[in-house]
Chains A and B, each alone.
Chain A
Amino acid sequence: NAGVTQTPKFQVLKTGQSMTLQCAQDMNHEYMSWYRQDPGMGLRLIHYSVGAGITDQGEVPNGYNVSRSTTEDFPLRLLSAAPSQTSVYFCASSYQGGGGNTIYFGEGSWLTVV
């Protein structure tokens, strides 16, 4: 049971380039989300999804795009990378029924935009 898997682990981009961070979970969780973690600011929600075909914006969505075509996968697209998007990105997932709403995180993707 792999849990939440993110790729790549590390990436360097030039300003203006686009890329996709991949996230997959094998726990059949309805809820998936992307966070960024910056020093002193904690984890901030970028986008989330409550099921296939359903996505919504979080706290800091600008410059990012998501889609959810399957229950398992939730890719995060950077449309035109900017230095302000240098951060650590975490994908997370959870059940959404009853008390089972603890979220579980992937190992993170370190992105540097130069």
Chain B
Amino acid sequence: EDQVTQSPEALRLQEGESSSLNCSYTVSGLRGLFWYRQDPGKGPEFLFTLYSAGEEKEKERLKATLTKKESFLHITAPKPEDSATYLCAVRATSGTYKYIFGTGTRLKVLA
């Protein structure tokens, strides 16, 4: 069964304290892996799409990487405004149009 697991569920960091969020996935074949940021009371905001193992993408303090079993979202020198829930999703190549979402990591960055 296709599955996405994110860890940790919640993470508290001091401003400037770098860390990584994990997204482990099990799919029959990967069509794409997606990272989103979600602020309270808002819809998920697209961050990155990764398609193949070894691929990396960066945006400001965020860097996403992909292996055959997991993806990491690295946050370098975070700021309080990076506080949000980060969601990971995958889409399989199994012929369906289903995107499978993890339950997210709630990140709090303290000033």
Contact = CB atoms under 8 A, between A and B. Distances in A.
Interface residues of A, number: 26
Interface of A: 4, 31, 33, 35, 40-45, 48, 50, 56, 58-59, 90, 96, 99, 101-108
19 contacts: A31-B97, A33-B99, A42-B87, A43-B89, A44-B101, A56-B97, A90-B43, A101-B32, A101-B91, A102-B34, A102-B46, A102-B49, A103-B34, A103-B99, A105-B36, A105-B46, A108-B41, A108-B42, A108-B43
Contacts, number: 54
Contacts of A106: 43
A105 B47 CA distance: 12
A94 to B, nearest CB: 9
